[in-house]
Chain A
Amino acid sequence: QITLKESGPTLVKPTQTLTLTCTFSGFSLSTSGVGVGWIRQPPGKALEWLALIYWNDDKRYSPSLKSRLTITKDTSKNQVVLTMTNMDPVDTATYYCALSYCSSTSCYPDIWGQGTMVTVSS
């Protein structure tokens, strides 16, 4: 059974750095064709793709947020970490991590975690 769970602070102050951890089980991030991505959703709004790390440590970032995001993995711990710098109230959202499957042309989120709500406020 594949599961993913997000963890991190529920409240951060403006200008702070957010660090979120995705802890997963049921698959290995060293398996070819596998990735873990992050997606967020502000309250009442649409999903927004943020970042993806591949099994081979290749990384992709949303162009609009690239300067603020860093994604890393610890294969031995079955964890993926997303950091987002210079947080702003508009970054208030539910943050999801998801197991992604990658073909030669695209990667897509398949199995999602439950999400974690992050509020940015002073």
Chain B
Amino acid sequence: SYELTQPPSVSVSPGQTARITCSGDALPKKYAYWYQQKSGQAPVLVIYEDSKRPSGIPERFSGSSSGTMATLTISGAQVEDEADYYCYSTDSTGGVFGGGTKLTVL
């Protein structure tokens, strides 16, 4: 079955740029989506269709995709951005999530 691979953890200091990657064989043909999940809360969509930002999501969140890798970039990460981040994409059978990346900002 289709898999999306993310690094388990990323750590940055406040104000630095955090980059979280997601690799998958179908990403050249399928969009990537990104979700932020803070402790004890439901996930929130932060990027859709590779690089679009929903209303209400801060401009410091951006996304890109090239070949088999999609990247979520948080420019000037804030302490409140500390969370788990999941990429998501689709195949012919439905949806699939990556294994998640814990972002630490300290």
A residues whose Cβ falls under 8 Å from a Cβ of B:
37, 39, 46-49, 51-52, 60-64, 96, 103, 105-115
Contacts and interface: CB of A to CB of B under 8 A. Distances in A.
A47 to B, nearest CB: 4
Interface residues of B, number: 25
Interface of B: 1, 30-31, 33, 35, 37, 42-45, 48-49, 54, 86, 88-90, 93-100
Contact of B31 (A62, A105, A114): A105
Q: Provide the main secondary structure of the chain B interface.
A: strand
Contacts of B43: 47, 96, 109, 112
A107 to B, nearest CB: 7
Q: Which 3 A-B pairs have the closest CB atoms?
A: A60-B94, A49-B95, A106-B90
B86 A46 contact: yes
Contact of B42 (A61, A62, A113): A113
Given A109-B45, A112-B43, A115-B42, A61 B94 contact: yes
